[in-house]
Structure 1
Amino acid sequence: MKEIETLFLSLINQHKAIIHKVSKMYMDDAEHQRDLFQEIVLQLWKAYPTFKGNSKFSTWMYRVSLNTALVYFKKDNRKVDKIPLTENIDVPDTNESELKEEKLAYLYKAVQELNSVEKALIFLFLENQTHREIAENLGISEVNARVKLNRTKEKLQLIIKRNGYEF
């Protein structure tokens, strides 16, 4: 048992960025992000005995993490505290790294306006997953994944424009 636990913790540690990104994608509050992170790790541990190795661990982890986030989001019926985003935001002079961080923060704010499936699509797209991999992770056809992703990207662009996040 100790050997399995050690291997599991090593794999989680190796791929923990996935869990952080999913948590951040679905929850905008740091406390809720931590709660979701813990819930995902718990569900991964419970599901770990069913991991057969037919896919990469990270692919399996994406699927469990996203499913957990979807269930967690619906089950608790959490209403994300929306920050008023209708005003234009002035960007002060910053160095490139700070500007990149600011753009990323705007993206996460805009993503909060998407529904849970759209969030999963954007997350997997940002993780450089192919349409086939997105389809496998979400349990939909490749064509459906492509269509939904294109619609979601268009919707996200409209949200970004509407909220004045364009640079």
Structure 2
Amino acid sequence: MSLKEKVFSQLIKDNQGLIIKVSRLYTNSLEDEQDLFQEIVLQLWRSYDTFKGNSKISTWMYRVALNTAITLFRKKTKSPQTDELMDFHYADFIEDDDEKQLQISLLYKVVKMLPNVERAIVMMYLDDLPYRDISENLGITEVNARVKMNRLKKTLKELMEKHA
């Protein structure tokens, strides 16, 4: 394994939660979730050389992951070639805590009811990203991100109560 592959592999391991969250929020089955996880990693690998460091690595990863998620299943094209990708398996990154998984599942269930941009805002907010980063990732103003998140808090509370 080359140095580049080792660095990339560590980057994926360090940021696996981000990729899993995006995969869960933009799919409806475990199989699609796993496919999207691998497709995001593939797209990150393909664009890795173009990352210039002008933004945080997590900002770049969110942008690639969200763009991949939003466009991949919309197209419904044939499976991508993954020959150049190292061996990353979705199951290697999942926790085993059943109670925690039930709570997370409910949260994902209600967040999936939101439109794509709102899903992304909630996910990044829950990851404690500053509104500046959220707005940069989504191409909206920081004020718009704040307003949307405040409205989404109310919406999510109502949905959680309704579907609990």
Same-fold call, TM cutoff 0.5? yes
Report the structure number with the largest CA radius of gyration. 1
Aligned counterpart, 1:110? 110
Q: Paired residues, what number?
A: 145
Shift of 1:118: 1.1
Looking at structure 2, the residues matched to 99 and 73 of structure 1 have their Cα atoms a distance apart, in angstroms, of: 30
Whole-angstrom distance in 2 between the partners of 1:17 and 1:103: 16
Verify the 8 A CA contact 1:28 1:109 in the aligned structure 2: no
Map 1:1-167 to 2 at 5 A.
Answer: 2-76=2-76, 98-163=98-163, 165=164
Report how far residue 99 of structure 1 moved: 4.2
Find the aligned partners of 1:5 and 1:103 in 2 and give their Cα distance: 35
SS across alignment from 1:114: coil
Q: Is the 8 A contact 1:19 1:65 kept in 2?
A: yes
State the identity %. Answer: 49
Q: TM-score, normalised by structure 1?
A: 0.78
Counterpart-to-counterpart distance in 2, 1:63 and 1:123: 13
**Runs of 4 or more consecutive aligned structure 1 residues displaced over 6 Å after TM superposition:** none
Question: Greater shift after overlay, 137-146 or 102-111?
Answer: 102-111
Change (3 A) 1:151 1:74: farther
The 3 A distance-change label for structure 1 pair 43 and 150 is same
**Structure 1 unmatched ranges of 5 or more:** 78-96
Instruction: Give the TM-score of the pair, scaled to structure 2.
Output: 0.79
Structure 2 unaligned runs (5+)? 78-96
**Partner of residue 84, structure 1:** none
Matching residue's letter, 1:18: L
- 1:82 counterpart residue number: none
